[in-house]
């Protein structure tokens, strides 16, 4: 029996948005530890490649340096993943996500953002909701509702 379009899994928007916000707040945490000269404008244009090390004996200083480089690579990869996903959004969606979640200095407030954009509250939340879902899909953090077994 063919599945009808109504049988497709449904997105749990509330949980999906919470998962996405966790990722965006983790982004801000990583951004805080980024040296000021590497602060992204919107898209990352830097990379760190950890050195290959074949020496079996390391000093604690070398171990700390290697650990720091690995952390920086992990952080930079995460920041780039977020930047790439945000850059797939439409202009207004990207503007909202950047202003609301990704600015280094302070988090934006929804009311300020919609007023600066010159859109109404309802339209703003409509655009923001679409942006959040589109970004969740791009980052693969969407959460589906559990389907209930049908009796019959």
Domain spans, the chain: 5-40+60-138
Rounded distance, CA 96 to CA 124, Å? 9
Query: Got the DSSP string for 86-141?
Result: HTTS-HHHHHHHIIIII-SS----HHHHHHHHT--HHHHHHHHHHHHHHHHHHTT-
Mind listing the pLDDT tens digit of every residue in the chain (152 residues)? 555 556 678 989 999 999 999 999 999 888 887 766 565 554 443 334 444 555 555 577 777 778 888 888 999 899 999 999 999 999 999 999 999 998 877 778 999 999 999 999 999 999 999 999 999 999 999 999 886 544 44
Task: Look at residue 142 in the predicted model and tell me its pLDDT.
Answer: 93
Determine the straight-line distance between the first and last CA of the chain, rounded to whole angstroms.
Answer: 15
Task: Look at residue 88 in the predicted model and tell me its pLDDT.
Answer: 93
Task: Look at residue 65 in the predicted model and tell me its pLDDT.
Answer: 79
Task: Look at residue 138 in the predicted model and tell me its pLDDT.
Answer: 96
Packing angle, helices 13-32 and 60-86, rounded to 10: 130
């Amino acid at each position: 029996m063919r599945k009808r379009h109504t049988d497709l899994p449904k997105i749990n928007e509330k949980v999906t948005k919470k998962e996405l916000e966790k990722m965006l707040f983790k982004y801000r945490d990583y951004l805080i530890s980024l040296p000021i000269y590497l602060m992204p404008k919107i898209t990352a244009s830097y990379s760190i490649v950890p050195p290959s090390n074949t020496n079996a004996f390391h000093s604690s200083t070398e171990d700390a340096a290697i650990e720091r480089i690995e952390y920086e690579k992990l952080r930079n990869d995460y920041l780039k993943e977020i930047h790439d996903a945000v850059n797939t959004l439409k202009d207004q969606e990207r503007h909202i996500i950047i202003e609301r979640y990704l600015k280094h200095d302070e988090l934006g407030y929804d009311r300020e953002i919609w007023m600066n954009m010159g859109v109404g509250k309802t339209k703003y939340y409509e655009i923001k909701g679409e942006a959040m879902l589109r970004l969740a899909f791009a980052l693969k953090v969407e959460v589906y509702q559990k389907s209930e077994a049908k009796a019959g």
